[in-house]
Amino acid sequence: MSIRTWWASAIAATLILATLLLGRARDRQFPTSKTQHSPPAVRAPQTLVVVTDQGKTFHIPSCPYVHGKRRVVTAQEAVREGYVPCVRCERALLGG
Question: Domain residue spans in the chain?
Answer: 1-34, 48-94
Q: Which residue has the higher pLDDT, 25 or 58?
A: 58
Q: For residue 30, name the pLDDT band (cuts at 50, 70, 90).
A: low
Mean pLDDT for 38-48 is: 67
Q: How far is Cα 82 from Cα 96, in angstroms, rounded to an integer?
A: 23
Tell me which DSSP letter residue 66 carries: -
Lowest mean pLDDT among 21-25, 78-82, 90-94: 21-25
Mean pLDDT for 8-31 is: 77
pLDDT at 89 over 60: yes
Q: What pLDDT was estimated at residue 75? A: 87
Residue pair 92/60 in contact (Cβ under 8 Å)? The answer is: yes
